[in-house]
């Protein structure tokens, strides 16, 4: 039964369908009033919004309770996978990323949402259509084009920098004296490194707890791999993790992961560590956001989901009004490859909600 009720919840993920007729929601939810749906998601701004706003609005309209557990990325996957492997039915919907969805499909973890919606049209809110999603939803389809996950967030990394530091007159003068050119947000990797080195010293002289750059370098978490392969490497023109279409990573077999672009990207990235906050080697994407919000970095690659609150939420961020946003530096030819569709800047990733077969 809960698999059918999720068809109602699917409609809410567009974030706008509550504007539809309240009477429809009340009628559709009436047979299931009092039912509890248990979900799990990552503790991110979109996940928190789903739990604190959408779930409550959904319950008011339908009488169906939604308990959405917000937790860390690694705990989220650990709990969801163990639940689905054991067929214990703890979770009625789970968070999935494009990186893992095909592993889930291979193990037959997920319900075919397209078929469920087609079989229960009375539970699809007016105006809701899977065809209205961007092509990002294609990452959550099987070979037949059926949908197994409803996108609920997408994230890219942007270049954040501290406008107040970059615009400080004494910083501009000192930078030009030291490096021989003007201080500005970086458009080359060499300039990024110079900025990082400069602001680390500049802030230290002023007694500020601020360093020159962020580094998402947690050594015991996939976050460091993601930063290198999904943010740094593509900026150097190394795409798709350096792996060829026939799944080879070494140059001699058609891959690029040990090639010149990969080596240049790794050299650049690791050379930033002396100019990053001390917590860099324990930082996932969440800690990077927190570090920048606390004023502990002059520049950094920061996920867009964090950039918004860093720039606007004075209750959480100490740098509101001081944040600039621009594109990260790229190697020669990368922008042209991105424009032609042969490459990309950074890594467009995202998450969806899916229904486990184990849901009771």
Residue at 340 is within a domain = no
Contact 5/116 with Cβ under 8 angstroms?
no
State whether 123 and 244 are in the same domain.
no
Separation CA 229–CA 225 (nearest Å): 6
Residue at 88 is within a domain = yes
**How many domains is the chain built from?**
2
State whether 166 and 149 are in the same domain.
no
State whether 125 and 36 are in the same domain.
yes
Q: What is the pTM of this model?
A: 0.87
State whether 322 and 240 are in the same domain.
yes
Residue at 115 is within a domain = yes
Separation CA 311–CA 160 (nearest Å): 9
Residue at 359 is within a domain = no
Three-state secondary structure of 253-307: HCCCCCCHHHHHHHHHHHCCHHHCCHHHHHCCHHHHHHHHHCCCECEEEEEHHHH
State whether 23 and 141 are in the same domain.
yes
State whether 180 and 324 are in the same domain.
yes
State whether 28 and 90 are in the same domain.
yes
Q: Which helix (H) or strand (E) holds 309?
A: helix 304-312
Q: List average pLDDT for each run of 10 residues in the chain, which is 360 residues long.
A: 57 52 86 93 90 92 93 94 96 92 96 91 84 90 95 88 98 98 98 98 98 96 94 95 94 96 98 98 96 98 93 97 96 94 81 92
Residue at 342 is within a domain = no
Separation CA 261–CA 247 (nearest Å): 18
Structural domain that includes position 188: 157-329
Residue found by looking up tokens 């490459």 in the block: 343
If one counts every other C-beta atom within 10 angstroms of the C-beta of residue 132, the result is 9
State whether 121 and 180 are in the same domain.
no
Residue at 336 is within a domain = no
Residue at 306 is within a domain = yes
Separation CA 52–CA 48 (nearest Å): 6
Cα dihedral 287, 293, 295, 300 sign: positive
CATH of the domain at 38: 3.40.190.10
pLDDT at 153: 87
State whether 199 and 270 are in the same domain.
yes
């Amino acid at each position: 039964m809960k698999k059918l009720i999720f068809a109602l919840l699917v409609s809410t993920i567009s974030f706008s369908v509550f504007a539809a007729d309240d009477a429809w929601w009340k009628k559709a939810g009436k047979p299931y009033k009092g039912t509890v749906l248990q979900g799990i998601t990552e503790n991110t701004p979109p996940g928190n919004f789903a739990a604190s706003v959408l779930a409550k609005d959904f319950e008011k309209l339908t009488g169906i309770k939604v308990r959405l557990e917000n937790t860390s990325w690694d705990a989220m996957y650990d709990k969801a996978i163990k639940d689905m492997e054991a067929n214990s039915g703890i979770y009625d919907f789970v968070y999935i990323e494009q990186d893992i969805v095909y592993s889930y499909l291979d193990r037959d973890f997920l319900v075919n949402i397209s078929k469920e919606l087609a079989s229960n049209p009375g539970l699809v809110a007016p105006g809701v259509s899977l065809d209205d999603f961007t092509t990002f939803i294609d990452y959550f389809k099987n070979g037949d084009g059926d949908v197994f996950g409803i996108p609920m967030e997408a994230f890219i990394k942007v270049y954040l920098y501290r406008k107040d530091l970059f615009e400080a007159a004494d910083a501009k003068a000192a930078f030009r004296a030291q490096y021989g050119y003007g201080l500005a947000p970086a458009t080359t990797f060499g300039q990024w490194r110079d900025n990082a080195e400069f602001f680390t010293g500049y802030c230290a002289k002023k007694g500020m707890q601020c360093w020159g750059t962020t580094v998402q370098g947690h050594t015991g978490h996939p976050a460091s791999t993601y930063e290198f392969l999904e943010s740094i490497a593509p900026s150097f023109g190394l795409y798709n993790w350096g792996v060829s279409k026939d799944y080879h990573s070494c140059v001699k077999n058609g891959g690029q992961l040990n090639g010149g672009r990969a080596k240049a990207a790794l050299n650049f990235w690791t050379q930033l560590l002396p100019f990053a906050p001390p917590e860099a080697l324990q930082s996932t994407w969440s800690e990077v956001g927190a570090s920048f919000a606390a004023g502990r970095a002059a520049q950094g690659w920061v996920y867009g989901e964090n950039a918004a609150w860093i720039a606007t939420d004075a209750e959480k961020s100490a740098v509101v009004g001081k944040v600039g946003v621009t594109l990260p530096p790229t190697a020669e030819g990368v922008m042209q490859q991105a424009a032609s569709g042969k490459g990309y800047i950074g890594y467009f990733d995202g998450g969806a909600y899916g229904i486990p077969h184990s849901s009771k």
